[in-house]
Amino acid sequence: PEMLGGEVSRIGEKTDVYLLGGILHEILSGHPPHRGKDLREMITSILMDVPPLPDSVPPALRAITARALECDPDARFESPLQLRLALEGYLRHRGSERIAQRAVERLAELEACLAQLDGTEEQAQRIHGLVSECRFGFREALAQWPDNEAARVGLRRTLTVIVEHMVSTGDPKAARAYLSELDVSDAALTARVSAAEAQLLE
């Protein structure tokens, strides 16, 4: 984009980053980020937002590509080397990303199941199984990559929803056990569990 306005002073390594981002976008989507039947359409496309990548592209890789293709050079990676390091980091951690994504899918199933309770033993077993899958998946993702924030957030969400479920179904002991696994303190949730425990003793 900086080449269109004649901003020669802004052309440099970050321009190379943009061009490399365009190649990366084409590899991931099958087409270049900017298209048009003539020069006017092409320029208009360049000045507008870059089309989003397919949902099949992992979020971390989408974020790297989007940063490389920022219109403002100052918002891009500092150099092609930084872009390369970001991609190498993604490749190192993609196993963790995949495991976390599968756990996120199980978490969505868990939340859908909890939203439509029918009180059957079959459903209770399904909930128990989904909770186990989520906890294992998110923990395995974190074991492979401790900085996987999606896995950390997913594990917290899993524990929070099952604690809330156990409180609402009158099982504060189980709720307390799950609560103890949270890596951050949740005062409101802790108070709910304590209230449920006190009610059980009355």
In tens, the pLDDT along 17-45 reads 999 999 999 999 998 887 777 877 777 77
DSSP assignment letter at 72: S
Could you tell me the two tokens for 124? 């209770």
pTM of the model: 0.67
In tens, the pLDDT along 171-198 reads 999 999 999 999 888 899 999 999 999 9
pLDDT band at 7 (very low <50, low <70, confident <90, very high): low
Q: 72-101 as b/e, with b when 16 or more CB fall inside 10 Å? A: ebeebbeebebbeebbeeeeebeebbebbb
Mean pLDDT for the chain? 90
Rounded Cα gap, residues 117 and 33, in angstroms = 45
**Residues 118, 119, 122, 125, Cα dihedral to 10°:** 120
Q: Tell me the residue type at 175.
A: A
